[in-house]
């Protein structure tokens, strides 16, 4: 498959993931903002709108630094876009490519909220362990990042990592 076709597929996938994230946030505002939480699993998981949104990063850290988060998101998405143009078009790196699209989509989904609202809409609450309230974009970023780490640790061998390194340097294209 040509690289341009792959990049088009990556872009379409990212747009669909961002759309799904934004739709869930719109739903959360319309259904949960002034209403009762929806219990999905009693004592474990509920949908609960976080009043005043999340102005920080994960778990509300660095709250109120909107410009910082916008810049970081732009840098991360730019780096991922560059990586997607360089990752070899082989079966071995297909999952890495998909996971990077999930990270980028999550970053953009939350960046849209920060730009539009100055905060991120959070509404998923895992209250069994009093876990901080989060959203679909956070799920994309967290699950994909952990999966990438597992790929690098358990699947990719040194030779695979060298291939990636060379592709990022523009060698062996």
Active site positions, annotated: 122, 138
> What DSSP string describes 67-108?
HHHHHHHHHHHHHHHHHHHHS-SSGGGHHHHHHHHHHHHHHH
Whole-number Å distance between alpha carbons of 108 and 32 = 23
Question: Could you give the angle at the alpha carbon of 23 between the alpha carbons of 54 and 100, nearest 5°?
Answer: 75
d(CA 137, CA 114): 13
In Å, how far from its chain's centre is CA 96? Answer: 14
| Distance (Å, whole) CA 172 – CA 170 | 7
């Amino acid at each position: 498959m040509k690289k341009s076709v792959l990049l088009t597929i990556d872009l379409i996938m990212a747009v669909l993931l961002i759309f799904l994230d934004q739709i869930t946030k719109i739903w959360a505002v319309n259904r949960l903002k002034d209403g009762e939480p929806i219990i999905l699993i009693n004592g474990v998981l509920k949908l609960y709108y976080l009043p005043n949104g999340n102005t920080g990063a994960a778990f509300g850290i660095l709250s109120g630094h909107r410009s910082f988060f916008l810049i970081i998101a732009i840098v991360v998405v730019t780096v991922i876009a560059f990586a997607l143009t360089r990752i070899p078009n082989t079966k071995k790196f297909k999952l890495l490519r998909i996971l990077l699209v999930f990270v980028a989509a999550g970053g953009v989904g939350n960046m849209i909220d920060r730009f539009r609202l100055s905060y991120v809409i959070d509404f998923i609450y895992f209250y069994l362990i009093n876990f901080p309230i989060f959203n679909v974009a956070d799920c994309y970023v967290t699950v994909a990042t952990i999966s990438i780490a597992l790929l690098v640790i358990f699947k990719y061998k040194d030779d695979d990592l060298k291939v990636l390194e060379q592709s990022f340097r523009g060698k062996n294209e």
